[in-house]
Chain A
Amino acid sequence: MSLPELDPSSATLADNKKAEVFLSSAGAKSLSLKEMKTIAKRLRRHIITMTGKAGSGHPGGSLSAVEIITALYFKLLRHKPSDPQWAERDRFILSKGHAAPLLYAALAECGYFPVDELSTLRQLDSRLQGHTDRTLTPGVEMSAGALGQGLSFAIGIALAGRLNSQKYRVYVLMGDGECDEGQVWEGAMAAAHFKLDNLVAIVDNNGLQIDGWNRDVMNLDPFSEKWRAFGWRVIEVDGHDLSQLIDAFKQAKQVKGQPTVIIAHTIKGKGVSFMENKADFHGKAPNAAEVEIALKELE
């Protein structure tokens, strides 16, 4: 009996030229804050266009994490879009898999696959599934969407890196609502227990989950104290301020003997006036008229 061996790297890259621009330490660091802000706006426009065309999807929690993803993919991560399986790449795990539109937009802009492909989101046979699928999409590390699983997965990758004496760092992005899941705290305990200083968790702390405000649905407070009590180094930032985010990621690199969590205070739906702080747009796509207004706001 032969079992199929999956190799996501076999996906063809149509846009390698763009890829190398953002390659790790070299090109990426030359991007100015202004250029990064331009990229952030472009990612927001992609999110609106993609979910609008698909007629479903999760714009709210995608928009809130735009600066986090921009700082990572266009500044901090060492990665090669032309070689998604590059062994030394920093790993980014999207645990809040419903923010797939954002990750796809960033991957496309980096050159992992053509930007044109973004318009296939959620369509039958698209490589861009409603929630991330590591078997289909170049650059996607984890099949996610069932909340609470990304931190554990990231711990496994971090442990493997340590066993192999590899220098890569592991980043995992979670939602704050996602932290209702018990598995997150199992992982939080384990990452500290294993002293994983090559692991950074980021919480997109937009305050909202599907049924409303976190504090009303399931209170997480005192949130940063919880992480500290679990043995993590905690850094709190304005999650829409690229400089603060970049500084926080740099600080995290200096931390030894414990994992770091960056609690990024964000606004759900950020950048689109009628989506901001609205739980409704967690899992609802904008209609045609709303797409038009949103894109105007994001010019």
Chain B
Amino acid sequence: MTSESHAPKSAAARLFDIRLLIGGLFVLYGLMLGIAGFFVSDKARAKAAGININLWLGVGMLVLGLLFLLWRKLNPLKVEPDAEVAADVGGPDVRH
């Protein structure tokens, strides 16, 4: 536990990048729906007013997911060296 005089430092710099999870989820959903769209039944198509909605939603989600992954690759989170050192070395470890 930390002592009273030594205030713990913020570990916020360790927060992960949400773009990875959004991108990952949408790519996975996009593939699941897109594959289902290739095996669409006449009944499912008729239900959706003649649109193969699983295919289109799947393609849309796949594209959005890939855009998030691309954005993350082109513009990665910058970890400030100070914060990283403070979190890993300087700050007392308060994980219970």
**B is a partner of A:** no
Residue ranges of B at the interface with A (Cβ–Cβ < 8 Å)? none
Residue ranges of A at the interface with B (Cβ–Cβ < 8 Å)? none
